[in-house]
Chain A
Amino acid sequence: MNYPVWNVPYIGSGLVIGIVAIVHVLVSHFAIGGGLFLYLTEKKALREGREDWLKRLPGYSKFFLVLTGVVGAMTGVGIWFSIGLANPAGTSTLIHNFVFGWATEWVIFLVELSLAAAYYYTWGRLPSGVHVRLGLLYAVSSFLTLVIINGILTFKLTPSSAWLSVAGTGKEAEHFFEAFFNPTYWPSLALRTLVCISMGGVMSLVFFSRLDSEKEGEVKRGLIRWASLWLLPAFVFMPICFIWYLSMVPESQRELLSLGISTIGVGAFTQVTRLTLIAILTTATIVGVVYFLAFLYPRDFEFGHAIAVLLLAFLATAATEGAREMLRKPYIIFDYMYSNGTLKSAVGKCNEEGYMVHSPWKINEGMFESGNLRGSLVMELGRQMFLGQCVSCHTVDGYRSMRDFLYDRDETAIGNILAMMRKTGEGSPYSKFMPPLVGTDEEIDALKKYLVSLTSPSKGKGVMEVTSGERELQGIVKGN
């Protein structure tokens, strides 16, 4: 364990990332699709002489600027902060690989947000041709941000064989472009572009649904219809792109999708499938609702309807992001680093020398003597094993609760699970969604004792089964 573990009680650090990421994905895809919407709508309105449309666009671009600038940009930074806290090792790998990709992304952001502000603040102050051109440049630059970040995101699931072949040798940088334009790069770019266009439509529906059906009926009819057309590309091309994407996913991970392959009833298998189904169903519902309500009866399309569509989009995003995460289990970078930060190549070494031996966070006798820690060394070791190897996916009492998983199991049963978890590959059904458990026998035994103490607090006195802040309250750790 190289870095300390950020142990978020109840929801777990993974869910912190998830929550921030879902909001970010919605808004950032809107930042791209909405930019295109603004550009094309202004152009269309100018060409067709629709003064009434033009009057509504400055308000829309203000809404766009504030939402994407405040929420979009800050949740983007938020994902970055949260992955650095929840998975420093993985983040470090990504940043060492792609720092100049990210730096380029930053340059584009700088241009993009300058254009967004300039576009909003110059309504009516520039010749319309020039203003439209600003809109076009915005749309292009915001799309370029996707072109870049997509390479880094898809890398995690399909790091490319070229990169994997040199991973760990110090020559990774030589395969930057293979890692970047990896097997899922293009299908993912296509999928995300479709999502962007759809989000441009969905958010426009939200904004223009607030026009008054009586007084502004004609404008509303035009704009709502126009906005609902933006869901068409997704409707037509999404299925093809989705299949294309799946065909590029490594065989072993695609298996996670097919139901019932495994003999264990619970587990990741059904989860990926379930999430994918939710995503497909919600997307289909969105298309249906938009067609039957917005497109056919645009004047009667109310704000409430639009919010319902937005919520469905939220659900679809949550499900897709969830499925994408599950699809990569048990890795954070496929075939290279496990979700808990352990390198695949380091498994043998950890088993031989120990998981905690080289760790700066190793607990030693001295800490008990100094009074900094009470309890027993073994329990603390077990707890560190749990933090280092399990907490990236489990919590004690909340999300994927370890206590719930273990509550009816005794020491022998837990020992069996752990023994199973030490095996890799076919040897263990768990290896499909959990990293192999690593460490010396002594360490694994400590983990077992700690886990046993979770199932019944009385079995392990003075145990740290509670999370962080509470530890001090219970007098387990002395405050300074």
Chain B
Amino acid sequence: MSKNIWVSFSVIVPGVLAIYLISGVRPDIIFKSIIVSAFGSIYGITETLTKSIPLMLCGIGLSAAFKSSIWNIGAEGQLLMGAVGATWIALYVIPNAPRLILLTVMFLSGAIFGALWAFVPAILKIKFNLNEIIISLMMNYIAIEFVNYLVYGPWRSPFEWGFPYSTKFPLNAQIPRFLDTRIHYPTLLLALFLAVFVHILLKRSKLGYEIKVIGENMEAAKYAGLNISRIIVVILLLSGGLAGLAGVGEVAGIHHRLRVASGISPGYGYTAIIVAWLGKLNPLLIIPVSLLFGGLLVGGDSIQVSLGLPGATINFINGLVLIFVMAQGFSNNRIFIKKGRNRV
């Protein structure tokens, strides 16, 4: 235990010091400002909730993948493709459909787009044994460029004075919000429902069992006769589909249009990797962890304005939080591994 604390502090102390030296702002002021802006006002809290939605959706999907030792780091691209899938339905396929049908089809389409984007690394992994880390990462860049191409090119709206925006979604394609906040609550409810659903899936279902076996001992999985290729595909489709839903929520709940990639997501798909790990790959734990990181994102925006700090500061702080918690987690893990190792 003492060792963990030592590890944590050996990272945190110089980290905090570095922030101080670079920015000249006292660390306690920075942290107070983050906490106050994220959790200290009604507005802050609603914004925190809003930003936690995509983190939750992506994080839940990633937890299933990581549990089976499939390293999908392409949630960012899968999210963006989900946004594209929703926009396509809303603007070009059935823009005049009634709200319930339109939104349902948009969510479905977003999930399918996200899933298909994850299908690429899946198929390359099982057919050619290519590393899914690299492929899913590269797919992120392709998705970013694709979204930007759409909003600068074929989908650029003629009514937006030349901004790289798509046309605004029809009213029926906009996800309702809670009062005058930006909380698009249907997406939030969907995320909460899926957290419970995936939790049960992992704990109790046949697929959950297969995920555990594959993740823990690939040799035993082969021996047991698991259809490993099929399971890899299913897990990546699930993981990509959930990220796709997050993308739908962003364009249909917040922006009401497709915009450049960096405008849709400040890296939710990457932050969700941290969220999934800190949530111990447990979908229920991912809910509070998403709120925490939603808060950090809100706080990060606010210290840029209020303290004039560079936007990267918050990434830095994210990193510190990650290392701090990982140091604890890893040591716990170590104890487990050690216990496992000496049992013979």
Q: Are these two chains actual partners, yes or no?
A: no
